[in-house]
Amino acid sequence: MTPHDLAQRLVQARRQHRLIDAPPPDSLPPDAATAYAIQQAVLAGLEQSTGAWKIGAKAPGAAASGAPIPASLVHESPARIAHGGFFRVLLELEIAFRFSEAIEPRREAYARDEVLARVGAVLPAIEIVDSRFSEWPDIAPLAQLADAQNNGALATGQPVAYAGFARVFDFVSPELELTFNGVSLVPEATGNPAGDPRELLVWFVNHCAAMGITIEPEWTITTGSYVGAHRVERAGTVYGRIDGLGEVEVDLT
C-alpha cells in the first residue's frame, strides 16, 4: 500500500461512511512528513477546504502534531450534529484560537513573540474524536496522524478578543464544566497535557510555513483537551463551559 493508496482509502471511508482496516506494518506512512502529505491528499480527494486545525502535545515541551479539519466539519454553537454520522463519539473540551491576519510561509522561523502578537481571538470548543479505522484505538500513531489525528468534528463557542483577555486568564488550569445530558464528564484532575496551549501555536505556525501553507484568519486552531476524551454511545446534549471564556453546546441527534 502506497501513501496514495491510504489517502484514497481514507477518502472512501469518509464518503461511504465505512470503516477500513488499518494498514499493515510494512505499509504504514514511513514518517510524519508522509502522514502530513496524506492529510492534504485526503482534503483534496474530498474536495474540501480547511476550516480548522487540531494540534496538541503529550507533555509541555514534547513534540507536537496536528491535522487540518475540513470546513464542513466545523460548527458554531449551538450545533446540531447527527450521532450516527460518526463511527464512535468521544468528547473533548478545549481552548481554541484564531489569528488576526493571514500568516504567510517564509524561510525564517517565526519567533514566539511574533506568533502570539498575531493571535486575534480565543474561544471554547468541543472536539468530537473519531477514527476511520476499525481497529482503533490499537492503531499505529503515524496511521492516526494520517487520518486527521482522529478528528471527527469541531464545535466552537463565541470568540473573545485575545488582547487584554490573555493577561488575566489561566490557560493552564481554568475552571470548567463538561456535561452529557446533565451528567458531568469532568475528571478529578483537569489540564491540557501540553501545559499552556499557546506554546503549541508557535509550532503550528512554523509547521504550516514548512509545508507552504498560508494560515487564514478564519481558521480555528484547537489545542487539546482539558478533560481527556469521553465516549458516549447515544444521542444527547453536550454542554461545555470555561469560566471567563464562554460556553459551547452540541445537540447530538
Q: Mean per-residue pLDDT for 32-61?
A: 97
Over pLDDT 90: what percentage of the chain?
96
In a domain, 42, yes or no: no
Strand-pair category, 160-161 with 176-180 = unpaired
The pLDDT, as a whole number, for residue 75 is 98
In one letter, which amino acid is 157?
G
Residue 148 CB neighbour total at 10 angstroms? 25
SS3 state of residue 171: coil
C-alpha dist (Å) from residue 25 to 22, 41, 83, 225 = 9, 21, 32, 29
The pLDDT, as a whole number, for residue 234 is 96
User: Helix 32-45 to helix 3-16 angle, to the nearest 10 degrees?
Assistant: 40
C-alpha 56/C-alpha 166 separation (Å) is: 20
The pLDDT, as a whole number, for residue 77 is 97
C-alpha 224/C-alpha 28 separation (Å) is: 25
The pLDDT, as a whole number, for residue 143 is 97
Strand partners, 53: 68, 221
In a domain, 26, yes or no: no
Domain of residue 176 covers 49-252
Which DSSP letter does residue 21 get?
P
In a domain, 195, yes or no: yes
The pLDDT, as a whole number, for residue 2 is 78
In a domain, 9, yes or no: no
In a domain, 192, yes or no: yes
Strand partners, 147: none
| 50-80 pLDDT tens trace | 999 999 999 999 999 999 999 999 999 999 9
Look up residue 23 and give its three cell numbers. Answer: 494498514
In a domain, 79, yes or no: yes
| 127-149 pLDDT tens trace | 999 999 999 999 999 999 999 99
In a domain, 81, yes or no: yes
The pLDDT, as a whole number, for residue 61 is 94
1 has pLDDT over 70 = no
C-alpha 105/C-alpha 148 separation (Å) is: 22
| 166-215 pLDDT tens trace | 999 999 999 999 999 999 999 999 999 999 999 999 999 999 999 999 99
Give the chain's mean pLDDT: 96
CATH of the domain at 173: 3.90.850.10
SS3 state of residue 179: strand
C-alpha dist (Å) from residue 4 to 8, 87, 154, 233, 245 = 6, 23, 26, 33, 41
Return all residues near 152 (Cβ < 8 A) that are at least 6 apart: 73, 86, 89, 127, 128, 129, 130
Return all residues near 20 (Cβ < 8 A) that are at least 6 apart: 9, 10, 12, 13, 132, 133, 134
| 78-103 pLDDT tens trace | 999 999 999 999 999 999 999 999 99
Q: How many domains does the chain have?
A: 1
